[in-house]
Amino acid sequence: MRVLPVLLLAPLAAGCTVARTAVDVVTLPVKVVSAGVDAATTSQSEADEKRGRAIRKEEERLGRERRELEERCRKNRARPDDACPLR
């Protein structure tokens, strides 16, 4: 007796699957265009993150150059254009 209610509900479940597939097919072009626009544009937060990375990279480069200059000055191997502090 319990098999009968399951058999009666099976077509309803299949209908939901068909409806869901229809919704997916209809919304697919919108999702594709939306993804393309998102990939082509940069949000403000993404731009801020990119700028922050560039600033940190530049600061690392400047720090590395400063340490190299200090080491050359300390070892008396300064280049002609180095501005070594007088001791």
- Total domain count, the chain: 2
Tell me whether residue 9 is in a domain: yes
Structure tokens at 81: 């254009």
Q: Which residue range is the domain that position 30 belongs to?
A: 1-41
Tell me whether residue 82 is in a domain: no
Tell me whether residue 84 is in a domain: no
| Cα 5 to Cα 64: distance, rounded to the nearest angstrom | 76
Does 51 lie in the same domain as 25? no
- 19-57 per-position pLDDT tens digit: 677 677 778 777 787 777 777 777 899 999 999 999 999
**Tokens 């150059």 sit at which residue?**
65
For the entire predicted model, the pTM comes to 0.49
Angle at 31 between CA 14 and CA 28, to 5 degrees: 40
Does 14 lie in the same domain as 25? yes
Altogether, the residues listed in the chain come to a count of 87
